[in-house]
Amino acid sequence: MKQKYMAAIAAALAIGFLAGCQETPENSIVKQKGADKAQEYESASTSVKEMVNAPETYKNKVTYENGVLTIDTDAEIILPDVEMVNTYKVTAEEVNQELIDKVTNAFFDGAKFYHAYSYSQQTKEQYQEEITRLKQYKAEGNLDPYEYGKDENGELYFDIDAVIARDEQELADAPEEIIKEEVKPSFGLEYISGKGEEAEKMVNEHEFYGIAETGHGIYNYTITSGEVSADVKFDIRKQRDDVPDPMEFMDWVEGRYLMDVKLESFSGMPEDEIKSLIDISYEDAEKIAKEHVGKLGYGWEIQDWDYALFHHGEGNVRKENVTDGGYVFFFTRVLDGMPITHTDSYGGGLEDMDSTLTPWGYERCEIIIGDNGFQEVEIFNPYHVEGVQTEHVKLMDFDSIMKIYEQMMEVSNADIGEFEKQRTYHVNKIKLGYSRIYDPNVDNRAGVLVPVWDFFGGFDAEIDGHYEQNNGEHSKQSFMTINAIDGTVINRDLGY
Helix axes 124-139, 160-173, angle to 10 degrees: 160
Q: What pLDDT is stored for residue 438 in this prediction?
A: 96
Q: What pLDDT is stored for residue 39 in this prediction?
A: 61
**pLDDT above 90 as % of the chain:** 79
User: Which bin fits 462, alpha (ψ -120 to 50), beta or left (φ > 0)?
Assistant: beta
pLDDT digits (tens, 9 = 90+) for 87-133: 999 999 999 999 999 999 999 999 999 999 999 999 999 999 999 99
d(CA 437, CA 88): 11
Please enumerate in sequence order all residues whose Cβ is within 8 A of that of 305, keeping only pairs 6 or more positions apart, or say none: 282, 286, 327, 328, 329, 330
Q: How far is CA 67 from CA 73, 417, 465, 469, in A?
A: 16, 10, 16, 17
pTM attached to this predicted model: 0.90
Cβ atoms of residues 203 and 188 within 8 Å: yes
The per-residue DSSP string of 80-149 comes to: -S-S---EEEEEEPP-SHHHHHHHHHHH-TT-EEEEHHHHTSPPHHHHHHHHHHHHHHHHTT-S-TT---
pLDDT digits (tens, 9 = 90+) for 296-352: 999 999 999 999 999 998 888 999 999 999 999 999 999 999 999 999 999 999 888
The per-residue DSSP string of 55-83 comes to: -SEEEEEEEEGGGTEEEEEEEEEE--S-S
With a cut of 70, say whether residue 4 has pLDDT above it.
Answer: no
What SS3 class is residue 180? coil
What SS3 class is residue 260? coil
Q: What pLDDT is stored for residue 20 in this prediction?
A: 35
User: Which bin fits 240, alpha (ψ -120 to 50), beta or left (φ > 0)?
Assistant: beta
Q: What pLDDT is stored for residue 24 in this prediction?
A: 41
Q: What is the longest distance spanned by two Cα atoms in the chain?
A: 78
